[in-house]
Structure 1
Amino acid sequence: MDFRLTEDQRALRKGVRELLARLFDREALRAAVDSGRLDRELWRELGAAGFFALRLPEEEGGVGLGLPEAVLVFEEAGRVLLPGPLVATHVAAGSLRGAAEGEVVVTDASEGLVPWLDEADVVLGDAEGAVPLRSVDPLTPLHRVPGTGGRAHPFRHVERLPTTVLETVLLTAAEQVGSAGRTTETAVAYAREREQFGQVIGGFQAVKHLCAGMLVRTELARAAVRAASVTADPVEIAGAKLLADEAATGNARDCLQVFGGMGFTWEADVHLHLKRAWVRAELRLPAARAEEVVAARL
């Protein structure tokens, strides 16, 4: 089985990266952090670009692509920390009117923790009585459904889960991979320009090892996510999510180390990647359950 990207897939990735650079640059990221609100105009522009309708058939107004292409798109979204319940809206685009066009914001309350509940037009699952929960990520407001503790994850028998649930897990993993890749690039770029003791810090062995470890985590998780998008095997999806969570959180922490004291300031974006990675890791198939799923197969 060949997992290398086709020419069309590379063109898709390049096009999405250019689109997001135009729609959601660093200035827009910081504006989103300051406002704490979902940008509806941005949401509609994503819809117009086919972000949510990517996998709908062309005769239904979609782009007609598959899960492997969706993984590439969500990896790019993760790179720039694009906010909002992107995965839930994308997965619901085929069944909810207005979701594909970005006119409707969809969130998911089936797992105890509910992101962007106040901004959502449609809530999948039961969010009755949900109470606000202080989120570590300023770009992901959260509510908790009472009695769940935020951990009502239906993953005990992963093979029995609906396809949409498994796709949600995999696309969340793709976002994590995008974040891991971005923090790797950020750490390497900083290590090449920051000088200490008369030389760039990238020349120090300890920094080299940190950056190399970040690259290994990213590429391992990326390969697992892309392979799972082709096989659609539930256990491979669980393993991919586990690796992607480790890459996103581990790389953000190591990026902070490369930046040193500067990395811990509010002005640096590294902390935003770490906080988003923490939240994503809990929203979809947390590590303990992913490990149980993989161990059961083994």
Structure 2
Amino acid sequence: MDFQLTADQRALRQGLRGLLVRRFPREALRAPLDRREGDTCARDPHTLDRELWRALGDAGFFALRLPEEEGGVGLGLPEAVLLFEEAGRALLTGPLVDTHLAAGAVKGAAEGEVVVTAQAGELISHLAQSDVVRDQDRAALEGVARPASSVDPLTPLWIVPGEPVDPSPESILLTAAEQSGSAARTLQMAVQHAHERKQFGQPVGAFQAVKHMCAQMLVRSELARTAVYAAAVTADPVEIAAAKLLADEAAEANARDCLQVCGGMGFTWEHDVHLHLKRAWVRAARGPSTGRLEEELAQNLLADA
């Protein structure tokens, strides 16, 4: 299977990356987090940037897979995976996957005018900030859902009593793509620091222990990316499960290793790596558990034996 991107796919990915650099730079990510006490003008970290949401809609982020005759871009799941990788790299905030999947079914979702969320497992993110809860009555949910403690300061969560809701395979795959993008970004952060930070007159990247750690991060990132790309091509539920397992591991382990490579600086609030780690935890918690996915993969392997 050839995983080389076409020129159009590279242009699509680069276009979104350029949009996020302009509309969602690091300053926009950090601004609501670094509010000082008494600063009433700063945006609350749980408030969604509706102008950015509409800009994503104008760029075709949500309507990417809608047919052209319905006002969409007419592309497929492999192209959607590329965009969600970029969203993961940038730590783009909000129920992106849910709104993307609702395009065409919920009026205004494709254009970015309506924010759609959905239950995954027992959790819903951004319930108070969304306009629609996919497949459920939002008003009824608000009466029974209770706020949950979220380790990610940019992702408010609610717990819904009752039976957990399994997310669709497409939702699992696009979330895995976000995890893969986050893993690639923390690898980049670690390598950059290893080149720039000097000890004993040489970059810390020259030390064998740091080299090995960065090499392990690269292997995790590439394995996750390849698995996500393969699952996007086949749309096979088993391959999607494998992609999620690898992407969750890559996002979490790479963020941890990036913390180690960056040393004392990596453990500060001012460094972004802790945000990647916390977002990776939240993404992994929404949807099928690691144990369940491993069991599904094991059963599939035994059936083919």
Q: TM-score, normalised by structure 2?
A: 0.91
C-alpha separation between the residues in 2 aligned to 1:252 and 1:199? 24
- Give the length in aligned residue pairs: 286
C-alpha separation between the residues in 1 aligned to 2:107 and 2:161? 29
Partner of 1:165: 168
Shift of residue 210, structure 1, vs aligned partner = 0.6
Q: Give the secondary-structure state (helix, strand or coil) at the position aligned to 1:114.
A: strand
Partner of 2:118: 108
Partner of 2:154: 139
> What letter corresponds to residue 45 of structure 1 in structure 2?
A
Q: Give the secondary-structure state (helix, strand or coil) at the position aligned to 1:118.
A: coil
Q: Give the secondary-structure state (helix, strand or coil) at the position aligned to 1:27.
A: helix
Provide the alpha-carbon RMSD of the alignment.
1.3
Question: Where in structure 2 are the equivalents of 1:27-42 lying within 5 Å?
Answer: 27-33=27-33, 34=35, 35-36=44-45, 37-42=47-52
Partner of 1:225: 228
Question: Where in structure 2 are the equivalents of 1:219-258 lying within 5 Å?
Answer: 219-258=222-261
- 8 Å Cα contact 2:100-2:109 kept in structure 1: yes
Shift of residue 90, structure 1, vs aligned partner = 0.1
Question: Where in structure 2 are the equivalents of 1:196-207 lying within 5 Å?
Answer: 196-207=199-210
Partner of 1:276: 279
- 8 Å Cα contact 2:120-2:287 kept in structure 1: no
Partner of 1:84: 94
The one of 110, 131, 134 aligned to 1:121 = 131
C-alpha separation between the residues in 2 aligned to 1:93 and 1:249? 30
Shift of residue 110, structure 1, vs aligned partner = 4.7
Shift of residue 10, structure 1, vs aligned partner = 1.0
Cα distance per residue 1:48-78 (max 9 Å; x no partner): 1111001111111111100000000000000
Is structure 2 residue 216 aligned with structure 1 residue 213?
Answer: yes
> What letter corresponds to residue 52 of structure 2 in structure 1?
L
- 8 Å Cα contact 1:32-1:38 kept in structure 2: no
Is structure 2 residue 270 aligned with structure 1 residue 267?
Answer: yes
C-alpha separation between the residues in 1 aligned to 2:146 and 2:287? 19
> What letter corresponds to residue 158 of structure 2 in structure 1?
H
The share of aligned pairs that are identical, in percent, is: 69
C-alpha separation between the residues in 1 aligned to 2:148 and 2:108? 28
Partner of 1:19: 19
C-alpha separation between the residues in 1 aligned to 2:180 and 2:257? 15
- 8 Å Cα contact 2:91-2:276 kept in structure 1: yes
> What letter corresponds to residue 38 of structure 1 in structure 2?
L
Is structure 2 residue 192 aligned with structure 1 residue 177?
Answer: no
Question: Where in structure 2 are the equivalents of 1:57-68 lying within 5 Å?
Answer: 57-68=67-78
Q: Give the secondary-structure state (helix, strand or coil) at the position aligned to 2:124.
A: strand
- 8 Å Cα contact 1:110-1:125 kept in structure 2: no
C-alpha separation between the residues in 2 aligned to 1:211 and 1:268? 18
Q: TM-score, normalised by structure 1?
A: 0.93
Shift of residue 107, structure 1, vs aligned partner = 0.5
